Amino acid sequence: MSFSGKAAIAGIGFTEFSRNSGVTTLTLALRAIRAALDDAGLSPDEVDGVATHRVSDSAASMTVAQAFGIRDLKYFIDHFGGGGSSHQVIGHAAMAVTAGVADYVVCYRAINARSAFRMGGTGRGFVDSPETQYQAPYGYYTPPQQYAMIARAYMDRYGANERHFGAVAVNQRANALLNDRAMMRKPMSYEDYLASPWIAEPFRLPDCCLETDVGVAVVVCSAERARDLRQRAVLIDGATWGGGATLYSIGEPDLNVSGARHMAPRLYRMAGLSPADVDVAMLYDCFTFAVLLQLEDYGFCARGEAGEFVLSGATAIGGTLPVNTHGGFLSEGYAHGMNHVVEAVMQLRGQAGARQVKDARIALSTGAPGYVGGVTSALLLRGDA
**Nearest residue (CB) to other proteins, 228 versus 254:** 254
Beta-strand relationship, 234-243 and 375-383? antiparallel
**Nearest residue (CB) to other proteins, 253 versus 318:** 253
DSSP 91-114: HHHHHHHHTTS-S-EEEEEEEETT
Q: Does 253 bind other proteins (CB under 8 A)?
A: yes
Dihedral sign for Cα atoms in the order 341, 342, 345, 346: negative
Q: Does 22 bind other proteins (CB under 8 A)?
A: no
Q: Does 133 bind other proteins (CB under 8 A)?
A: yes
The stretch near other proteins (CB under 8 A) out of 42-50, 123-131, 299-307, 359-367 is 123-131
Contacts (Cβ under 8 Å, ≥6 apart) of 166: 190, 193, 194, 206, 288
> Sheet harboring 362-366: ordered strands across?
75-80, 49-54, 105-112, 213-222, 7-14, 234-243, 375-383, 362-366, 280-282
Q: Does 130 bind other proteins (CB under 8 A)?
A: yes
In angstroms, the CA 229 to CA 22 distance is: 33
**Nearest residue (CB) to other proteins, 154 versus 300:** 154
Do residues 37 and 262 lie in contact, with contact meaning Cβ atoms separated by under 8 Å? no
DSSP 25-48: HHHHHHHHHHHHHHHHT--GGG--
End-to-end CA distance of the chain: 23
In angstroms, the CA 259 to CA 360 distance is: 27
Q: Which of 136, 194, 276, 302 binds other proteins (CB under 8 A)?
A: 136
Shortest Cβ 335–other proteins spacing (Å): 22
Which residues inside 350-379 make contact with other proteins, applying CB under 8 A? none
In angstroms, the CA 349 to CA 336 distance is: 22
The stretch near other proteins (CB under 8 A) out of 3-11, 83-91, 244-252, 336-344 is 244-252
Shortest Cβ 126–other proteins spacing (Å): 6
The stretch near other proteins (CB under 8 A) out of 77-85, 247-255, 311-319, 350-358 is 247-255
Q: Does 162 bind other proteins (CB under 8 A)?
A: no
Active-site residue, selected from the candidate residues 108, 154, 284, 298: 284
Q: Does 308 bind other proteins (CB under 8 A)?
A: no
Which residues inside 86-115 make contact with other proteins, applying CB under 8 A? none
Mark whether 147 is an active-site residue.
no
Shortest Cβ 202–other proteins spacing (Å): 8
Instruction: Kindly write out the interface string for residues 195-234 of this chain, putting x where it contacts other proteins by CB under 8 A and - elsewhere.
Output: --xxxxxx--------------------------------
How many other C-beta atoms can be found within 10 angstroms of the C-beta atom of residue 358?
Answer: 10
Q: What string of H, E and C letters represents the secondary structure of 46-84?
A: HCCEEEEEECCCCCCHHHHHHHCCCCCCCEEEEEECCHH
Q: Does 121 bind other proteins (CB under 8 A)?
A: yes
Q: Does 138 bind other proteins (CB under 8 A)?
A: yes
Q: Which of 44, 141, 303, 361 binds other proteins (CB under 8 A)?
A: 141
Q: Does 347 bind other proteins (CB under 8 A)?
A: no
The stretch near other proteins (CB under 8 A) out of 15-23, 48-56, 152-160, 259-267 is 152-160
Q: Does 131 bind other proteins (CB under 8 A)?
A: yes
Shortest Cβ 213–other proteins spacing (Å): 21
Mark whether 138 is an active-site residue.
no
Dihedral sign for Cα atoms in the order 182, 186, 192, 195: negative
Shortest Cβ 166–other proteins spacing (Å): 17
Count of residues that interact with other proteins, criterion CB under 8 A:
38
How many other C-beta atoms can be found within 10 angstroms of the C-beta atom of residue 130?
Answer: 9
Q: Does 123 bind other proteins (CB under 8 A)?
A: no
Burial of 252 by CB count in 10 Å (0-12 exposed, 13-18 middle, 19+ buried)? middle
Residues with catalytic roles: 284, 334
Residues near other proteins, by CB under 8 A: 120-121, 126, 130-142, 144-145, 148-150, 152-153, 156, 197-202, 247-253, 255
